[in-house]
Amino acid sequence: MKIGIVGAGAVGLLFGFYLGKHAEVTMYTRTSTQADSIQERGIVCYTSGKAKATAVKAKVLGEELPADEFLLVATKQYHITDLIPLLSECESKRIIFVQNGMGHLNAMQTIQKSIAVAIVEHGAKKVSGNEVEHTGQGVTKFGVVQGDSMDFTSFLACFPPTFTVLEEPDWKQVMQHKLIVNACINPLTALYRVSNGALIYNAYFYQTMRQLFTEVIQLLDVQESEFHWKRVCEVCVQTASNRSSMLTDVTSNRPTEIDAILGYLLQLPKAHEVKAPLVSFLHKSIKGLEM
């Protein structure tokens, strides 16, 4: 089974490490330096301080078009628009997207192929071009957006039992649940420059997060709001000492995924009826910090 992975960042390397045990994996990188390092040394994954390696192939994306049976797109959400022509033209007929947020859902459905999403609940940190740290064990939830679920059966069979992947018929709801968490935690931590736990332990930040949550829930037109609020608070507690991905992006002077998260919410039909001043303020603030 041939699986290509576009983007050898934290998640791409993590998936390459696990999938490479049971499939012939090719990592598609942006630079030849990274491709050479992966090709020579394999992907090294650190879990609880222990290092293990998996041998995989690596190529620069674009030097030739991928023809693997499955293609996993593990770039950031804001890279996807530029990748759509290549993903449409290449011979791979089954494509899986792993991005946070929901801003890329329309773009992926312009590709006339079988399309799936993987909602990743692991934590991963890129250590070097060929090394990744598995910082948080979780599960991956998988849903077929376009095509037949049978199209992905052999892909799902390539994950080792230690890397749980759950098929989710209601994948949109799963994405929405994660979106709520990211919408509440990521922009506030990035603006305040605090770890996730501060949003619970600091009474003023907590009140602001609750106000933000109320706007998010109204924009999404979601019921059972206390269930979702409990989940947001649980994630803050469980990841109390973590810096959110948005805080890390802002402090590293990289673009953030704010458009996929708050930008997506502001484009929903409900945004014409519901007042969401905090969502709007935070969207503009993070966009401003990106400049």
Ligand X SMILES: CC(C)(CO)C(=O)C(=O)O
> By the criterion CB under 6 A, which residues form the site for ligand NDP?
6-12, 28-31, 61, 74-77, 79, 83, 98-100, 120, 122-124, 126, 245, 257
Pairwise CA distance, residues 16 & 13, whole Å: 5
- The one catalytic residue in 59, 76, 178, 275 is 178
Pairwise CA distance, residues 137 & 123, whole Å: 7
Rounded to a whole number of angstroms, the minimum distance from the CB of residue 181 to ligand X is 5
Rounded to a whole number of angstroms, the minimum distance from the CB of residue 14 to ligand X is 14
Rounded to a whole number of angstroms, the minimum distance from the CB of residue 172 to ligand NDP is 17
Among 75, 114, 245, 256, binds ligand X (CB under 6 A): 245
| Active-site annotation holds for 21 | no
State which residue, 92 or 244, has the beta carbon closest to ligand X.
244
By a kind-dependent CB cut-off of 5 to 8 A, residue 79 interacts, out of ligand NDP, ligand X, none, with ligand NDP
Rounded to a whole number of angstroms, the minimum distance from the CB of residue 92 to ligand NDP is 14
State which residue, 39 or 244, has the beta carbon closest to ligand X.
244
By a kind-dependent CB cut-off of 5 to 8 A, residue 181 interacts, out of ligand NDP, ligand X, none, with ligand X
Among 85-93, 108-116, 180-188, 223-231, the segment contacting ligand X (CB under 6 A): 180-188
Does residue 235 interact with ligand X by CB under 6 A?
A: yes
Q: Which of positions 97-116 make contact with ligand X (CB under 6 A)?
A: 100
Sites of contact with ligand X (CB under 6 A): 100, 181-182, 185-186, 196, 235, 239, 242, 244-245
Instruction: Give catalytic residues, as residue numbers.
Output: 178
